[in-house]
Structure 1
Amino acid sequence: MTDTDVLIVGAGPTGLTLAAALLLQGVSVTLVDRQAEGANTSRAAGVNARSLEVLDRIDVTRRLVKEGVEAPRFTIRDRAATLLTVDFSGLATDYPFTLLVPQSTTERLLLERVRELGGDVIRPKTLVTVAQDAARVTATFDDGDTVSARYLVGADGMHSTVRTQAGIGFTGGAYEHEFVLADARLRGDAPTDEVRLFWASEGLTVVAPLPDGAFRIVAPMDGAPEHPSADLVQRLLDDRGPGGLVVTDVVWSSRFRIHHRVADDYRAGRVLLAGDAAHVHSPAGGQGMNLGIQDAIALADALAAVLDGAPDTRLDDYAATRRPIAEQVVALTDRLTRLATIPRSLRPLRNALLGLVGRMPALTRALAARLSGLVYR
């Protein structure tokens, strides 16, 4: 049996951030993941200003910025016409932009930092059961191993075994639409310093730059194939984009369905939740991975304090602070998703109203603060 202060289940961005932050504060950490290796695809691609601020505490931000693409603007467009511009460049932060970087790169840099601090990921390691008493948590794995910890954190995603074992509900539902996700190389007017969201009568499409010269394409499409082809991505851009964009290659593609759920609680005794184990929502606004990273830093502070003798009500404070933020993000991304997928007959009215909002500086500044995560400081 292994003894540790904190057992973290799940080595995605949330678990890796939590491990690094705890190790930096002298906490004994065991980090496990059921996958045989880390992510090698881009998946989440945007790191917002607030996440860059908190990652600076564990000395990861400078490494990310070196490998990413800075996008100080987010625009919503109807073909070539700009309806609304969200400008991050005037925000009161050292990072007035969205950093576009593949999730695989984010995870690689976080893992490098964990290893610098003396930690690592044990994999593949699949959790089976969790039991706890007043003093410790005991986790049993499918290979027969057990780990005894003072606290256990579930950072093991939407289908969290930790959350299920702790008996914590996961309230919410799923959207009816499927989404196409592709990283493609493009020829034409595709700027490398701006994230563009196109709202067309046929549906929406997001086009965002990536560091290797490719672009992230996201679009709702019912009946999408498991691996969308270059021809399909081209058709989506032709039908919904600005025109003139040519897909020369698809580097990677997938499809996904969106859920919107928040855990009923973030704590059950010595078991805590963070990241997608605690909340999942639409990728509209690019908040998912960012919210998990910010959970991790807040939880690391709470755990380190409690392990150093502070009352364990600090852990209740973590849950009480972070869960309402998740609810706000779910509500925001739900509104954005429903606006993007409203019936075709209502889309011209939506676009006209959005154009009016785009001419109201106070509203666009407020949206910049929310999308950047700075409103949650």
Structure 2
Amino acid sequence: MAELAADVVIAGGGPVGLFLAGLLLQEGVTVKVLEQRTSRNQHTRAIGIHPPALQALSRIGVVPTLVREGVRIREGVALSGGRTVGTMAFGTVSANFPFVLALPQFRTEQILADRVLALDPNALVRGATVTGFTDDGAGVTVAFESPDHPSLAPARATAALLVAADGARSRLRGALGVAAARRTYQDHYLMGDFDDDSGLGEKAALFLEQQGIVESFPLPGGIRRWVVRLDCPAGSATATDLAGLVGRRTGIVPDPATTSMLSAFSVSSAIAGRTVAGRVILLGDAAHEISPIGGQGMNLGWLDAEALAPLVLEALPGGPADSHFSDFERARRRAAVRARRQAEINMALGRPLPAPLLRIRTAALGTAASIPAVNRWAAMRFTMQ
């Protein structure tokens, strides 16, 4: 049996697991990241990186590359019935990063992976599926399968700590017997990326329409993402269907022949009852699944990792993990509850309304946007500050 050894094993090589790996490797901690995927998903949903996350990511030296490749969204505009209702400027939300950065998740992951591999070429093990673990109180042994690496099959990895960053459907959370409080919502979305001929430039746009919201964000390479709120799951909807919905609600018709991504999702959320169990720690979506509306989930996971890294350094090489991480668990749960509440507000603002109520809501939003203090407060909340 092949065996890997490290101070910390991270199950999951998505953006959150990779960031934590980078933080720890920089401090001389040995890390093994076990990632089931052998290639990156080009259709991942997350694109927005908020200022607090950029500040955190700057700790591992990846921000210059992220900013160079991404689109800096400095302003958002709300429209309804073909007229501008209000604008939201991000220029005052952060001294260092006065914008929301838009970059497809697959590229963000690649930049993070490159940094991890620069720190340790052997830290990332792809094609590794975690099948179980044992925690003897002094350390953790992780069993995994790796068909792409026959020399490692069957395999295990030993570590002082195991971090489960294996996503919203976390297998390790289930193995720990940790329940997650789940909510489902009446909100369904269809989204796609098209060549951008909207005339909106580098602005984000929210179209507040009677049939439901349409959200739109610029992406690198002259691409624009369109997200349409639906009353029921999208089913087998096509790029042509999405372009038609966008056109009917906004007057802007993306060219379906240029679509580079099409995806549909229904919204739910979940917050784990606990995130620390012995020497195993749940991180990111494994600990809290947040609605994608508002773009908080990935950012929240990065802030989790930033808070966790110094505690890992304190906990190594031994000692009960729970005694180091109880405050972390409480603080990050509070952050997850706040993020879920904000996402729920975002979704509520985008639901269909009868015309009279829509006019009242739109007028109220316009009035609020015209008050500088309120506008700045809303921009701070939108950017997770």
> Which bracket does the TM-score occupy, shorter chain normalised?
over 0.9
Give CA deviations for 1:207-256 in whole Å, capped at 9, x if unaligned: 10001111011112224145x43321221212222x24442511111111
Deviation, 1:79, is 3.6
User: Which residue in the other structure is 1:328 paired with?
Assistant: 338
User: Which residue in the other structure is 2:149 paired with?
Assistant: none
Q: Does the 8 A contact of 2:233 with 2:265 survive in 1?
A: no
Tell me whether 1:224 sits opposite 2:227 in the alignment. Answer: no
User: Which residue in the other structure is 1:11 paired with?
Assistant: 13
Map 1:1-377 → 2, pairs under 5 A: 1-119=3-121, 120-142=123-145, 144-191=154-201, 193-221=202-230, 222-226=232-236, 228-241=237-250, 243-247=251-255, 249-307=258-316, 312=321, 313-344=323-354, 346-373=357-384, 375=385
Q: Residue 200 of structure 1: SS of its match in structure 2?
A: coil
Deviates more, 1:1-10 or 1:300-309: 300-309
Alpha-carbon RMSD across the aligned residues, in angstroms, is 1.9
Deviation, 1:196, is 0.7
**Cα distance in 2 for residues equivalent to 1:91 and 1:338:** 24
Q: Residue 231 of structure 1: SS of its match in structure 2?
A: helix
Deviation, 1:308, is 6.2
**Cα distance in 2 for residues equivalent to 1:87 and 1:311:** 46
Deviation, 1:285, is 1.7
TM-score by length of 2: 0.91
**Cα distance in 1 for residues equivalent to 2:272 and 2:177:** 10
**Cα distance in 2 for residues equivalent to 1:324 and 1:338:** 21
Residue type at the aligned position of 2:372: P
Query: Which runs of 5 or more residues in structure 1 are unaligned?
Result: none
Pair 1:310–1:197, CA change in 2 (3 A): farther
Q: Does the 8 A contact of 2:24 with 2:309 survive in 1?
A: yes
Give CA deviations for 1:24-52 in whole Å, capped at 9, x if unaligned: 11111110111122233352111111111
**Cα distance in 2 for residues equivalent to 1:133 and 1:319:** 21
**Cα distance in 2 for residues equivalent to 1:246 and 1:278:** 37
Residue type at the aligned position of 1:356: T
Q: Does the 8 A contact of 2:192 with 2:227 survive in 1?
A: yes
**Cα distance in 1 for residues equivalent to 2:35 and 2:259:** 29
Q: Does the 8 A contact of 1:51 with 1:290 survive in 2?
A: yes
Query: Which runs of 5 or more residues in structure 2 are unaligned?
Result: 146-152
**Cα distance in 2 for residues equivalent to 1:279 and 1:340:** 23
Q: Residue 156 of structure 1: SS of its match in structure 2?
A: coil
Residue type at the aligned position of 2:108: T
Q: Residue 160 of structure 2: SS of its match in structure 1?
A: strand
Residue type at the aligned position of 2:119: L
Q: Residue 333 of structure 2: SS of its match in structure 1?
A: helix
Q: Does the 8 A contact of 1:72 with 1:88 survive in 2?
A: yes
Matched positions, count: 371
TM-score by length of 1: 0.93
**Cα distance in 1 for residues equivalent to 2:38 and 2:5:** 23
Q: Residue 5 of structure 2: SS of its match in structure 1?
A: strand
Give CA deviations for 1:297-345 in whole Å, capped at 9, x if unaligned: 2111211222167984332222122110110000010111122125445
Pair 1:362–1:354, CA change in 2 (3 A): same
Give CA deviations for 1:246-305 in whole Å, capped at 9, x if unaligned: 425111111111111111111111111111111112222211111111111211121122
